[in-house]
Amino acid sequence: MSKLSTTQPAILTIAGSDSGGGAGIQADLKTFAAHGCYGTSAITALTAQNTIGVQDVLPTPSDFLQKQVTSVLSDIDIKAIKTGMFFDASNTQAAITALKSHYSTNSSDVTGSIPPLVCDPVCVSTSGHTLLEPNAIDYIIEWLFPLATLITPNKAEAELILSRRKSAATTEALRSIDTLEDMLLVAEELLCYGSKAVLLKGGHLTVLPEDVRDVAANHPTLQVVRDGIMPNGENMEILQANLNSAGMQLVVDVLCELRDDDRQKQTTTLFCHPRLESTSTHGTGCTLSAAIAAELGLGSNLTNAVRRAVQYTYLGIETADSAIGHGHGPLNHFHSMGETVIPKITPTNPYPFTSLLIHRSAHVWKAYVEHEFVKLLGRGTLPSENFIHFIRQDYLYLKYYARAYALLSAKSNSFPAIDSATQIVVSVLQEVNTHKKFCASFGITEDQLARTKESPATAAYGGYLIDVGLRGDTTLLLMALLACLLGYGEVGLWLKKNVKTGDGGWVIMQNNPYFQWIEDYAGERFQRAVRIGLETIEAHTAADPPSPNRFKEWYAVWERCTELEKGFWDMAMNLS
């Protein structure tokens, strides 16, 4: 019989049923669907279960479980397999027998013909109780692990598995996993059970950013992925500077995998994300392993599959509806299918809209922030005529900028919004005085400064600001103003970050004729204005979330102004 080929990758889950819908095959099938995969299942047990607990369990007869697995495999082209909760030894043995029987008929090498298999060794409850008979655990270790592409134990499960290996040299020293260093050692030790890779989950261990830093320093080949920890990209100093990360707790998952080119060597990756204070965590392990299986079925390599699955699970917790059930509720498995254009504000990502703007415009934003004009400023080697030309034109531009913020104040309909725009105008007026002082230091009088003719770049940019202010709504005008405010704040912090010290910075502060310019834009006064701008735009977009088309309009203005800002540096370099 030829197998049915589906247009979506077909994934098989062998796990228990959760009548409450948050874990087990219900969570697996939702996860497969959210990834665009076709879900199939073989049920190991029925549970009477809700968000509060498990009231009863009815195991599937072992012969019937074997028939379920065989039935699916004989008909559908399965691209990946995930195993979850088994009930007892005979139940476990039946599933393994079905897998080995099917794939051994197609190849003399079962491990070579079986599709990617993710084994979630569900053998310890959250409260610490062993869920499987000891001989069932032994079956999983001896027969299922060697078939697995990946095993995904949590802390308690890893400790239990290690205790079953009587000859393990490190078992006595690692009865408990208490530190991130312990996790690295245990993940490597677990590879000895025959799987190609181990993902040791860190949800039950508290880790601080400095712990990750220290471990990374001690293990130079270690790869560290910091998804969800700001800033996540280049030229985001303004976001990092305004994020209060003091005392931030992390969840760190450790992936240890054998290299394809050398089976004696391992590569290890840490996946770090902020710990979420949430009760919507029921089914987290099931969801994560199912997401990894789906990603593998879609063709991802293992590292990317784990990274995407970790992020998917994290967002599932972060966006979950806490009103479901009276205990630990389920994740939001379909968060990626909503209409939300901008992620919601969280303690670890207080500026999601600004982050999205910078990410999307990364190429032009980098060209603006790291422009040659800025680099020469930092080194103190910018010819004085270029700086004088720039500062005189910037003085003229600030007239447009202050008027645009005055328009924003006029368009605002609340006192906090009016106050915010007015404070920026006051900041601009202070900046004008700075320009006068700079010009005076280079021999340019205030009268000469006032009689400076506008360059085409100044007229184009200033005219664009006023045009947007007159024709657009409040948000559109905010978009036009942000590139200047945030960009100069970013430049100031970027230069300050790269001040020449013992660890190789290139920015010169001592005897730099542009020292005060750098200090002004990196300083507290201007950075306070940046904070006001960030908080204003984030509050505005959170209160009035855009449709995809509206966001496209906003982004077009942001990108255009970022290009005009870069053009301003170009003008200064060319003396045009």
Active site residues: 201, 281, 283-286
Torsion from C-alpha of 164, 168, 172, 178, nearest 10 degrees: -80
d(CA 404, CA 471): 12
The token duo for 152 is: 């995904």
Q: Please, which residues have CB within 8 angstroms of residue 15's CB and are 6 or more apart in sequence?
A: 24, 25, 28, 41, 43, 44, 82, 83, 84, 85, 120, 122, 286
Q: Please, which residues have CB within 8 angstroms of residue 12's CB and are 6 or more apart in sequence?
A: 40, 41, 42, 69, 72, 73, 76, 78, 80, 81, 82
Which residues is 378 bridged to in the sheet?
none
Burial class (CB in 10 A: 0-12, 13-18, 19+), 421: buried
The token duo for 10 is: 């077909």
Helices 548-574 and 372-379 pack at an angle, to 10 degrees, of 50
The token duo for 60 is: 């599937």
Q: What single-letter DSSP state applies at residue 508?
A: -
For 29, 35, 83, 338, the CA distances from 38, given in Å and listed in that order, are 8, 9, 16, 20
Q: What single-letter DSSP state applies at residue 133?
A: -
The token duo for 315 is: 């967002």
Q: If we measure between CA atoms, which residue out of 20, 73, 7, 5 comes closest to residue 42?
A: 73
Q: Are strands 250-258 and 197-200 parallel, antiparallel or unpaired?
A: antiparallel
Q: What single-letter DSSP state applies at residue 143?
A: I
Q: How many CB atoms lie within 10 A of CB 547?
A: 10
d(CA 407, CA 205): 52
